[in-house]
Structure 1
Amino acid sequence: MTELRIRAATPEDLDTVLAFWKVAAEGTSISDDRDGVERLVARDPGALILAESGGELAGTVIAGFDGWRCHLYRLAVHPDRRRRGIASALLTAAEERFVRLGGRRADAMVLESNETAHHAWDAAGYAREERWRRWVKPLTG
């Protein structure tokens, strides 16, 4: 495999990231648009982490920290590049970021129906907490 490069996304990457998620991410979110991701990168420039291989986007993770909790979103690896350590490298970068920021616990939001992702999170050492259910309300403004 070509050497993997891990780096923070820049505003110039956003269209590529959005197109990538349509191929590599399971499902979409109301915030998966240019404005939403642009706000993320502007507010927290290190939160959107990219993995590149051979000059192409191979994976992403959002490592958001609100000053209290560490949240992981959009861990996605291109289907043709899975099972090569890309997700592990992205999670390592995210966890290192959290430690630098003072975070003590990370959580991930994973679709209930995404069995492939469940196995990946288990392999990465994350435990599923059955006691929590998530309530979601789209915000309009």
Structure 2
Amino acid sequence: MSDLRIRHAASSDIDTVLRFWRDAAEGTSISDDHDGVARLIARDPEALLLALRDDLLVGTVIAGFDGWRCSAYRLAVHPGLRRQGIATALLQAAEQRFAALGGRRVDAMVLEANERAHHTWAARGYLREDHWRRWVKPL
């Protein structure tokens, strides 16, 4: 995918990212708003990775690291461009970031009902741990 470029998101990308997630991501989160994404970028300017083709947003992943555990969120690819290696390129960039930061394990949050996404993660070598259940509380 020589025409694909991966870069970090900037504040000027927030509205574009939010529109993209409404079309490409499965489900939404309480933090999927301008302030939430702005806080992410301010706290960790390299966490939100964007995949661009011809300067158009075609994919995203949040590659967060808290100093102990690596977390991947919001892996999303434009519905009309799936199965073209965009998710793989984004995950490779995230994994390179994690390795450079000294990360040793990646946790990926994937919706239970998103079977297509499960195949993507499994193809990259991620293992599903059904014995863990996440408990979430909005603040």
Which bin holds the TM-score, normalised by the shorter protein? over 0.9
Aligned-pair distance for 1:2? 6.6
Instruction: Measure, in 2, the Cα distance between the counterparts of 1:130 and 1:74.
Output: 20
Q: Is the 8 A contact 1:2 1:54 kept in 2?
A: no
Q: Which runs of 5+ in 2 are unaligned?
A: none
Q: What is the CA–CA distance in structure 2 between the aligned matches of 1:68 and 1:2, rounded to whole Å?
A: 33
1:130, CA displacement in angstroms? 1.1
Superposition misfits of 4+ residues, deviation over 3 angstroms: none
Percent pairwise identity:
71
Matched positions, count: 139
Unmatched 5+ residue regions in structure 1? none
Counterparts of 1:103 and 1:70, CA distance in 2: 6
Q: Which residue of 2 aligns with 1:29?
A: 29
**1:100 equivalent in alignment to 2:113:** no
Aligned-pair Cα RMSD in Å: 0.9
Amino acid at match of 2:124: A
Classify 1:2/1:100 alpha carbon distance in 2 versus 1 (closer, same or farther; 3 Å): closer
2:118 aligned partner, one-letter code = H
Could you tell me which residue of structure 1 aligns to residue 134 of structure 2?
134
Q: Secondary structure of 1:136's match?
A: coil
Equivalent residues in 2 for 1:1-141, closer than 5 Å: 3-139=3-139
Provide the C-alpha distance between the structure 2 equivalents of 1:69 and 1:137, rounded to a whole number of angstroms. Answer: 20
In structure 2, what residue type is equivalent to 1:67?
Answer: G
Question: TM-score under structure 2 normalisation?
Answer: 0.98
**TM-score calculated relative to the size of structure 1:** 0.97
